[in-house]
Each structure stands twice: as structure tokens, then as C-alpha cells.
Amino acid sequence: MKETTPTETEWRHLYALMDRVKEAAPWEWMEETDIFGIQNPETGELGFVSVMGSLGEHLAVAVYLGEQGLAGFWRMQYAGPYLTPDMVLNTPQLQASFEDRNTLHPKDRDVIKQLGLKYRGKQAWPQFQSYAPGMVPWYLTAVEARFLAHALEQMLEMAARLEDDPALLDADEEEYLVRVPTKQGNKWVWHNEKRQITPPTSRPVSIYFDKRAMEFLRNLPPTMGRIDVDFFWTPASVRAEQERPYFPYMLLIIEPSSGMIIGSETMIAETSIDEMWGTMPLKVGLTLARQRLRPGFIRTSSEEVAAFLRPLADELNIQLQLVDALPDLENAKQMLTSFLMR
């Protein structure tokens, strides 16, 4: 489906709905975990609506997209104080929030100006954004705008009901109330269904190697040396011309006895986050081949990095060690991140 920008009518509808949301202030009696589903009338896909703002810090309505979005929502809830920015940014969602004027993108201000709307004060300016794994939050497409409008309408209705009946969203484990549309004439009529939503199953991830590099490394004599490896998200957004900006990931390899960086590479989720992670063993293998190095040990403090490097370590008979902290690697990581942010 071709991505198009919302029409003036669609924008006006969204901003009018946000006026109603601000007046209703559902965050005064709803928690983030008072979540319910909504079926997209156009695509049949599910979104899961959550109201933020009970602490007054971030007033917003989020629609977490599909099973992956729902799983990301609960991952963020369980993370507590260990919540990281990439957990939020990699969770597919649409978000309608109230911001200060100086945090809006120029395009947001242009739309508000073109519509002749006026806002004043802190947390008074509506903003609409689309979140996708590996990508910078971006402007809505027309399809996203229409779905977000449906979600805001249903949130307002459900919030009013929930104020009178706090048990409305009570359900068994993995069961959710879902708002389902049916077409009657030229209008959508909504009704409630209880649906079992099971967590998404782990998808098999392809692991990539460079055959020539692996053969070369197998023929090298092993050493007692070690390398430290990390693969991490960076907050430095990068934009190709006419494309949505993305957040690069950084692969970092150091030789800990000297602190020397022997390999660093920025990587992006061109097709998916999983596909990008699957290429990490290939990149590490190529780096070792260029350095003519077959270490005895690979250390990392990341469980995910350890899992993805396990096939490489097994192929080359290298011991893989998961440790609590790697101070030298952390120092190099901070320097590289600061450099990218500049």
C-alpha cells in the first residue's frame, strides 16, 4: 500500500479528538496497564491502547501494534528502573501525546499553523508519531492517522465506561477486551469481544558467516588471548536523503590487555532488527580474520550478544564468557557514542 500523508480533514479530526482527550483527562483514573485492544477497520490488524500520564510526566495515548507491540509494552512494564530508550523506540506503536511547543518538529508546527489552531502552555501541543524498530519516531501516514483516530475515539468511550465500572477490563491471563468494528451503512459500529492474545513465538533468526574468513580462522593457531565484544543501540540518528532517519547500532571489539579497539562498525536494521543481529557473527569473524587473530576467549556482558556469538565460538573452539561488567569496553563505548552524537 502506498504511503500517503494525511489529508487536511484527517488532521483536523485528529486534533479535534486530542482536544476531547485533554478535556477528559483519562489519565486521572486510568493506569498504563488498563489496556484494551482495537481492530483496525481497514486492515483487520490489532492495536492495544494504553493511556499514559497518571504521574503527570508524559500525557499520551499509545496504540501498540500487533503481538510484537503488545509484547514490547509488557517488556517495558516489567523493566521498571531498567527501562532503556531503545526498548521504547523498538516497540512498534502509534502515539498521540501532549508536548511543549519547543519539542515539536517543524512539520508538526506547520500543520498546526495551516489548520489555524492555537495552543498555549506546557504539555498543551498535540503531537502524533509512528514508532518502528530501528527507526526514529516519524510522521504518520494516512492509514496510521485513520487508525489512531479510531483508537482515540474508542479510548474516550472506554475511559468513560471505565470511570463508572473499574472492573470493565478485568480478564483472565492473556485475555483482552477488544473493540471490533462492523460496517452498518456508512458508519462503523463497535462491540466488545474477549480474545486470547498469546505472546509472539520466538522467530528463527538466520546466523551469517563469511566462509572464507571462517576457513582462514580455523587454520590459525589458537592463542590464550581474549577479546571483549558488545553490540549496542546508539541515540545518534542518521538520515539518508528523502528517507526516514534511523538509529544505528554499534559493534565494538577491543583487546582488553591494551584497551585497543580492534573492530568497530555501525550497523542498521535495513530489513529487521533480527536480520541485523544475525549478521553480527559475520562481522566479528571478518574482524578477527583481518587481525589474523583466533583468541582463546570472547567475553561479553550482554546475554543477547553471547547467544548470537555462540555459533561462532563453537565453530572456532573459542570459550565464550558472560561476565557482569567490562570496564574497558564500557569506556570505549562511551567515547564512541559521544563521537557519534557530535
CB atoms within 10 A of CB 15: 17
Predicted local confidence at residue 222, as pLDDT: 86
CATH topology of domain 211-341: Nucleotidyltransferase; domain 5 (3.30.420)
Residue 242 clears pLDDT 70, i.e. is over it: no
Phi, psi of 243 (to 5 degrees): -125, 160
Predicted local confidence at residue 240, as pLDDT: 67
For the chain, the structural domain boundaries read 8-196, 211-341
Rounded-to-integer distance, Cα 49 and Cα 149, Å = 12
Residue 102 gets which letter from DSSP?
A: G
For the segment 150-205, what is each residue's pLDDT rounded down to a tens digit? 999 999 999 999 988 988 998 888 899 999 999 998 899 999 999 999 877 766 78
Residue 238 gets which letter from DSSP?
A: B
Mean pLDDT of 208-217: 96
Q: What is the overall mean pLDDT for the chain?
A: 93
Q: How confident is the model at residue 215 (pLDDT cuts 50, 70, 90)?
A: very high
Rounded-to-integer distance, Cα 158 and Cα 166, Å = 11
Write the single-letter amino acid at 4. Answer: T
Write the single-letter amino acid at 331. Answer: N
C-alpha cell at 33: 496497564
For the segment 13-66, what is each residue's pLDDT rounded down to a tens digit? 999 999 999 999 999 999 999 999 999 999 999 999 999 998 888 999 999 999
Residue 90 clears pLDDT 80, i.e. is over it: yes
Predicted local confidence at residue 336, as pLDDT: 81
For the segment 100-115, what is each residue's pLDDT rounded down to a tens digit? 999 999 999 999 999 9
Predicted local confidence at residue 259, as pLDDT: 85
Rounded-to-integer distance, Cα 154 and Cα 165, Å = 16
pLDDT over 70 for what percent of the chain?
97
Mean pLDDT of 106-127: 96
Predicted local confidence at residue 2, as pLDDT: 58
Rounded-to-integer distance, Cα 277 and Cα 284, Å = 12
Spatial CB neighbours of 25, under 8 Å, sequence gap ≥ 6: none
pLDDT over 90 for what percent of the chain?
77
List the one residue out of 283, 271, 333 whose CA is nearest residue 312. 283
Predicted local confidence at residue 241, as pLDDT: 63
Q: Which pairing describes strands 187-196 and 260-267: parallel, antiparallel, or unpaired?
A: unpaired
Mean pLDDT of 261-283: 91
Listing DSSP states for 41-90 in one string gives: TTT--EEEEEEE-TTSS--EEEEEEHHHHHHHHHHHHHHGGG--HHHHHT
CA distances from 239 to 93, 134, 175, 195 (A): 21, 12, 40, 40
pTM of the complete model: 0.90
List the one residue out of 126, 128, 138 whose CA is nearest residue 101. 126
Rounded-to-integer distance, Cα 153 and Cα 38, Å = 11
Given a contact cutoff of 8 angstroms between Cβ atoms, the answer to whether 101 and 125 are in contact is: yes
Residue 1 clears pLDDT 60, i.e. is over it: no
**Torsion angle, CA of 227/231/232/234, rounded to 10 degrees?**
90
Spatial CB neighbours of 173, under 8 Å, sequence gap ≥ 6: none
